[in-house]
A and B are shown apart, each in its own frame.
Chain A
């Protein structure tokens, strides 16, 4: 596989469930990102990891918990979500976060919270 992949592509969960989103990048990049994309809203940056270290947490509620075991993999653990958390969750990667490097996006996970 090439580029940035995300699984699952679609997820429906109840408010009491626990689930995880997975992202993998095959580009040899060192920085990875989670974004939230809601209808009619700009992409919102959630988390940034640089060389496996979290460098940004954009005031995200604790019911979202990221994990970056290595530079190629990024997870977003979800628990006790709210219906307003329903959105498209996009993962991206770039060579580093501190230059003009382009971010490359995965196809996203469409999350629906019932």
Chain B
């Protein structure tokens, strides 16, 4: 089976940096995705990692360590609009290559 853990809630200050962690246990890891979901809206794709290391995309970066079953999403220069839920999802080859999601981390950015 799949077991994906991420913190339920986080709070950070506008302009600061925040790191959202995700740990996972899967039988056939085949990639990890991060999605952003504002309340009442569709999840939107942020990043994809399949190899170890850091992927940078503007203010957002995502890191993966396959040996540790660990990823994080790093948000820099936080803005109020970054207040949202951040979903970690793992693709599992033994699960028909389907995506398995964590419960999401609700981030609140305060002035």
List chain A positions with a Cβ less than 8 A from chain B. Answer: 4, 40-43, 45, 48, 55-56, 90, 97-100, 102-108, 110
Contacts and interface: CB of A to CB of B under 8 A. Distances in A.
26 contacts: A40-B103, A42-B4, A42-B100, A42-B103, A43-B43, A43-B87, A43-B89, A43-B101, A45-B99, A45-B100, A56-B96, A56-B98, A97-B96, A97-B97, A98-B97, A100-B30, A100-B48, A100-B50, A100-B91, A102-B33, A102-B45, A103-B99, A105-B42, A106-B42, A107-B42, A108-B42
Nearest to A103: B99
Interface in B11-62: 30-31, 33, 35, 40-45, 48, 50
A54 B96 CA distance: 13
B45 A104 contact: yes
Contact of A41 (B30, B40, B45, B103): B103
A42 B48 CA distance: 19
Nearest to B103: A42
Interface on chain A toward B: helix, strand, loop, or mixed SS? loop
Contacts of A98: 97
Contacts of A4: 42
A56 to B, nearest CB: 6
Contacts of B35: 105
A27 to B, nearest CB: 12
A107 B96 contact: no
Contacts of A90: 42-43
Q: Which of B30, B97, B103 counts the most chain A CB atoms within 10 A?
A: B97
Contacts of B42: 4, 90, 105-108
